Every structure is written in structure tokens, then in C-alpha cells.
Amino acid sequence: MASKESSSLQSPLPLTPSSKTCKSLVATQPARLVAMETNEPSSHQPMNIFGQVTDFLDRHLQSLRIGVALIGVTGLVLIGRSIRMMKMFRSVSDIPEEFIRKQMTLRGKVRGHEGHHIMVEHLPIVQGMKGRIKGHQDSLLSVCLAGVNISEAGLTNLVTLIPLDSIIWFRLLAVNEQKQLECIVKRRKNLFSLMVNETLVKQGFAQVKPAHPSMALHPTTVKLIQRLSKAELYAEKKSKGIWAKPPLRERMNEEIGEMKDGLKERTVSTLKPLSAGVNAVKSVKARLGALVRWPKKGSKNG
């Protein structure tokens, strides 16, 4: 009996249909998972690319920083060479034609005033020790106020507006026949920027003059002349500077003096024919007297 029981225990149990189906499901499940995994990467592909890019940047971050720094330094060097950051212009001939054509703005220090123009020491954007000068006359730029004809009283006012050693900004417009720079000159006053050209005209110390032919049609010059013309109308309306009217008594005295001068001229012009006639009568009378006296002199001599 014991042997029979052991043999019955060792013999495999017959598989039921339910157990077979479970095994088939378990066998087919990995295949389905593999199929699902093969179909899912298309939806997660952008995330994988983004992750790869992020990993690449993380691995090469230092190299990228060095590359960006090199590109920035190269760009600064090229910009510096194009605008000549350390170049000091010591004469008008040193300034490139491109600077005048583009109407670039330069910075300088006022070193003197000679008549209607200003002697300026050019200050480069980056100053080096070799480029510094001590304001020698041969190393200064002659700057004129564009579109402005300064009066004699305005020359004194010009020294007040931009005294010696003051910093100015001058925009290049043209070079005139005297090899002087025609510029728009500005100076910083408190927190504002003061245009010297307009200020002189507005105060009545200068008049608007035609622009240089080489820059007459440029939009910047047209706007400048329009702005100066408005300032001149303002000064004339307010009777400032050269447009100031004298007091009433002086104006009446001037008008009376002009009337007297006019009357004198008219009197002289009317009396000239009479005086000429009187002189002619006198000359005729003198000749007749001489003819009458001549026979008497001859009889006495005989």
C-alpha cells in the first residue's frame, strides 16, 4: 500500500484546461510587452533627443564656455578695430573719410578758442599711456559750429558755454575749405545735454547760415537747420542779443537824426544848381570887370 501511495504521489498530475490557458497567457505576455515597447519609443522620441542634447551640453559645458568667450573677444577686437577705440586723431587729416561719411560722434577736451572755431584735443574711447598728449597746438582739432555765424558778442558767450578743459561731444558733418571740422557740438550740463549751436542762436548771439554744400542735403543737416531757424525766430521775437531793440528815446533820437541827415542832403542837392549859377555870374562879372579895366590901363601907360 505504501508503495502504491508513493507512486501515486510521484506521478505528475494531469493538466487541466485552465492551467494550460494560464501558461499560454504567461508565455504570450512578454511578446506583447516587447511589441508595446517597440511601438512606444515614437511617442517618447522628443524627450530622448532633449535628454541627449542636455547630456551633451553637460559633458561639454566647459568647452562651450571657452568657445563663447573666444567668439565674444574676437567680436570686441573687430569692433574696436573698426571704430579705432585707442586711436587718437591729432589732425583733421587723421580722421578717416568713413567717419565723416557716417557722421560719427567723437569726444574731446576744449584746449582753446580762436575766433569762430574751437581747438579740441581728441579723447579716444580707450586711452592708452602712449596716446596721451598735453594739448600741443599741433595736435589739436579745429572745430566749427555747423550752420551758425557767431557775432562778436557771441564769441565771449562761447567761452562761457564751453570753457577751457571742458568735455564736449562733436558730431562730424563735413570738412570746410579751411580744413576745419563742421560739427554739432554738445556739452553735458547737469543731467541734460546742451547743444552749443542752438543755444547761441536762441540767445541771440548767432545767426543761421547756409550749410556746407557737401552736407546740405543730408537729413541730419536739414533737421539741424530747421532747429536753428526755430531758435532764431524765438530770439528775434524775444528781442535777444543782436535782435534786441534799443530804448524808445534812443530810437526817437536815431529817427530824428536820420530825418536831419535826409533834410541836409535834400537841401544840398537843391542848392547845388543855385550855387553853380551864382558862381557862373561871379565869374562873368569878373571877366567883364577885367575887360573894362584893360583900356584904362593902356591909356595910362601911353
Whether the predicted pLDDT of 134 surpasses 60: no
- Contact (CB, 8 A) for 224 and 190: no
> Domain of 217: which CATH number?
2.40.50.90
8 Å CB contact between 215 and 144: no
113 beta partners: 118
What is the distance between the alpha carbons of residues 226 and 147, in angstroms, rounded to a whole number? Answer: 10
DSSP string for residues in 191-208: TEEEEHHHHHHHTTSEEE
* pTM for this predicted structure: 0.57
- For residue range 221-237, list pLDDT tens digits in order: 999 999 999 999 999 99
In the beta sheet, which residues pair with residue 181? Answer: 143, 175
Judge whether 149 lies within some domain: yes
Q: Is residue 207 part of a domain?
A: yes
Structural domain includes residue 6 = no
Can you give the pLDDT at residue 13? 46
Does the residue 278 lie in any domain?
A: no
The cell 573698426 sits on which residue? 82
**Inside any domain, residue 209:** yes
SS3 string, 12-67, reads CCCCCHHHHHHHHHHHHHHHHHHHHHHHCHHHHHHHHHHHHHHHHHHHCHHHHHHH
Pairing of strands 181-189, 141-145: parallel
Total number of domains constituting the chain: 1
In a domain? residue 228: yes
**Chain segment 78-118, per-residue pLDDT in tens:** 554 544 566 889 899 999 999 999 999 999 999 999 988 99
Residue 71 inside a domain? The answer is no
Q: What is the pLDDT of residue 139?
A: 83
Alpha-helix residue ranges (DSSP H) falling in 60-93: 61-83
The reported pLDDT for the residue numbered 131 is: 47
Domain that holds residue 106: 92-243
Q: What is the pLDDT of residues 140-155, one digit of tens each?
A: 999 999 999 999 989 9
> Which helix (H) or strand (E) segment is 153 a member of?
helix 152-161
Is residue 293 situated within a structural domain?
no
